[in-house]
Chains A and B, each alone.
Chain A
Amino acid sequence: MRPAPVVTVLLLAGLAVPFGLEAQEAPPRLAVSVGPDWLGEADVGGADATLTGAGGGRVDLFRTASTVTGGVGVGAAVGVRVAGGLWTELTARYHSARLATRITGDIEAADETAREALQQLHVDGGLLWLPEKLRLASRLQLFVAGGAGYLRQLHGTNTLAETGRSYYAGSGLIVSLPERQGGTFKASGVRLELRAAGSRGGVAFDDRLHVAPAIWASLFLRF
């Protein structure tokens, strides 16, 4: 009968939570964040232009190297608390991006960089974790985040849309502002997030995972 006391203790602990919460305001369950999002440059692969050589090998007409640069866009997230410091989030990020292909080694020295505008949307589902261990001070909290979702890129001429997969992993700092009593929201603050933004497919010229650095600064409200 040794396990019985352990089970009893756990049940009691579980029952204790609602009573404890009744003593103070319930913690926020919903969060909304919005702010500027900077997305750096990612290599997106690409083939070289080659001809069949007389000796059977390939002869370069020119070589290519392509990148997508997101630049400054906007990001927004809606989060729902799952338990403790764990939240689920739905994030959307939009960038007016640029696809650039550098042409080098042209057989007739016609090297050039060819560019094109893109509209780019990432929609991701993910987790945001704010463990108590990473609380630096009462209003400073470190967090980690990660997720995956959908990427849609529309070429500048609006004539062709391409889709792919989106991934991210990052961490950052939440600075909470002083709490308001009796307002429409329970907490507010600033969230600064550094992340690795991955994508596969879309306008990329190969099927590999491509990663760009990204920084998101947002204001959040918790309800």
Chain B
Amino acid sequence: MTRARGAARRQRSWIALTLLAALLLADAAPARAYLKFGVPVNGRTVTLKWPAEPVRYLVFEQGVDGVSATEFRDAVARAFATWEAVPSATIQYAYDGFTRTSRPGDEDFVNTLGFDDRPELDRVLASTTLLLDESTGELVESDIFFNSAFAWSVAAGGERTRFDLETIALHEIGHFSGLGHSALGETELTGAGRRVTATEAVMFPIAFGPGNISNRILRADDIAGISDLYPSEAFNDDTGSLSGRVTWNGQGIFGAHVTAFNPRTGLLVGNFTLNADGQFSIAGLVPGPHIVRVEPLDDAEVASFLEEDAGIELDFRATVHNRLIVVPRGGDSGSVTIRVVSK
């Protein structure tokens, strides 16, 4: 990774990932893929991740109404600790203290989390920016800002009219670590926009409303994602993957949301078909038979997940595959083809 300012500038690029307030329409910036970001490097795709651990971070020393700088630091520390506690992932973080000079969003090779007053971003609760080295696909810097235009809380049980800082930090730290959005959720359109009715991933792109603290804990989908990026030895030995293609009239389709459900554990893990051949792969599954379900990406704006102009197919019917697919321990299911039909 070169740090030479002039040369590096051409090679670095920013990705911004935003978490949206409930009831508001998604307008997140495009991401390359769900679970992991693929970065094209010299003609091949490299997974975006931190090259070394622990990943160090600073906290911008500024509080807001209801949350002091110290309370902010403690809430984000709890969220970092939740990701660190995933036994099948190795990711570690280290707190390096408060800063008054490095603001979230500054390109300074320092990872900073803090509040920022962005009233013009009236749909954005928080946003993570990732600076990457395009020559290696490695992360160089990541900052998270929490929009102080919203009301925040660090109360243990949440506060009805305020967004829970730890919950939102947990989602943003997923991005900070290299994860994209999950589509494991259901939404409904209301007059004001899209409202989340249910989700089973902290990394779903739209947050529950104020006062909700149910996403302070990671779900199977989040755990599979972080473990896929930073796998422990046990992860590779003890879990398996399920892969295959989704086709419509014999042609692969791009951007289908594929979910694997294990009836023994009750765990759901999802991913997307990520090329024109309709290929997908879901890692981090507990060995055993799985139900495979495919649906169009219609529960949030597609741009929350994948490049909007990439030809994402939305007009097919949600389909459960008529075979149980067995995931072996430490291996792959072997390619399964799931055929879908028009709505």
Contacts and interface: CB of A to CB of B under 8 A. Distances in A.
Interface in A120-156: 155-156
Contact of A52 (B200, B265, B322, B334): B200
A189 B327 CA distance: 46
A54 B293 contact: no
A108 B266 contact: no
Nearest to A159: B328
Contacts of B22: 54
Interface of B: 22, 184-186, 195-200, 208-209, 212, 214-215, 219, 259, 261-266, 268, 287-289, 291-293, 295, 317-324, 326-329, 331, 333-334
Contacts of A84: none
Contacts of A109: 318
A64 B290 CA distance: 11
A51 B198 contact: yes
A114 B200 contact: no
10 contacts: A52-B214, A52-B215, A54-B195, A54-B197, A59-B186, A61-B259, A66-B263, A101-B291, A159-B334, A160-B326
A106 B261 CA distance: 13
Contacts of A106: 293, 318, 320
Contacts of B293: 49, 61-62, 106, 110
A52 to B, nearest CB: 5
Nearest to A112: B320
Interface of A: 45-54, 56, 59, 61-62, 64, 66, 99, 101, 103, 106-116, 155-157, 159-160, 162, 203, 205-206
Given A52-B199, A54-B209, A110-B295, A61 B326 contact: no
Nearest to A44: B263
B104 to A, nearest CB: 29
A161 to B, nearest CB: 10
A108 B295 contact: yes
B164 to A, nearest CB: 13
B328 A114 contact: no
Given A99-B324, A115-B323, 4 more contacts: A48-B266, A61-B259, A103-B291, A114-B292
A40 B35 CA distance: 43
Given A46-B263, A66-B263, A159-B326, A116 B289 contact: yes
Contacts of A52: 198-200, 214-215, 219
B200 A51 contact: yes
Nearest to B287: A160
B264 A110 contact: no
Contacts of A51: 184-186, 198-200, 268
A47 B214 contact: no
Nearest to A113: B322
Contacts of A59: 186, 197-198
Contacts of B185: 51
A164 B324 CA distance: 20
A99 B289 contact: yes
A34 to B, nearest CB: 31
Nearest to A116: B324
Given A51-B185, A112-B322, A115-B324, A101 B263 contact: yes
Contact of A101 (B186, B209, B324, B333): B324
A198 B185 CA distance: 39
A160 B328 contact: yes
A156 B3 CA distance: 53
